[in-house]
Structure 1
């Protein structure tokens, strides 16, 4: 599975490079991230819970950064496993200064997944990976924008609070990714509307089931 793309940050390259390697920041904005801890030189331990189609579970593993050329580029190696299966991959990140406060990030990588998560199909797994990447980068960008704004106003503020997308928002990102990959542009609004309707129905049914369970537990007690 190949993953590639680009993203534009409204910030200097040095700041972007630093934020992309800050575990305290990344752990707050990556969807489903439960832990991201620096355990050695450019080595992190991570725990991530995520839903991909009918497969739900936790991954634990390590992330290693190498070939660091600050603030221009680095290589990232991922090795994780859990109940849903395993994922191994390597990616390369490059940052280019486009202006005083604009940085273009380009990334490309190869990943291999196996186990239950592979059973949902490559297209869905790829869409999930793209959604996870985009939502994470959106979170980093929002954090950077808040920091830049505080500095511009010369305010001494606590770190901005940026919340990672919840599982519902992440699922919508995956659904939109699948639709954009397989549906012609002129028919996408119809499919997006249908996906939203189905997702809302699923949320309502789950909330009702949860309420019934609570009522049963209360009556039993």
Structure 2
């Protein structure tokens, strides 16, 4: 899927979503992000992410935000960023606690990868644990089996096949089969597209909680 194709999926996603290039320029901003933070796409696309949100963790404003947050540092070396809680600045000037799931998306041609951030409102009180993907309320009504949803949940966290297999007590071959089957059922060609489709269908939602030992 090209970035433009992914952005088409994210436009109607039931969560906030924005994308930045490796130089931290915002290249996409969806309606969910506007609903949560108050900025329109026209106001923020083309700006640096730190100029808009000035992201902060529990310890305060991230000192090296302008030089690249931890998510971007991971992406620049080809690693999967970890989910996190973050205080973001709203258009009103107030700060809001959100739970963020970053994902790295390949660019087109010679262009570098993009980092896509999916986020939603966190509870009023900050939690110390990392944020993880949980099952949506409609998961039992969807096309996937319980095991396929388990595998999809770990794919959303950026886990590889070997790690998922160990966690679930399955063989890597079985995990690959579940991954193939869930992509077929969702009519997508990649794990990232499967996650996006699952968010759109309500099979996966952002919930607060501990990320377990997957970090």
Do Structure 1 and Structure 2 share a fold, with TM-score over 0.5? no
Q: Which has the larger radius of gyration?
A: 1
TM-score calculated relative to the size of structure 1? 0.30
TM-score calculated relative to the size of structure 2? 0.30
Q: Which structure has greater strand proportion?
A: 1
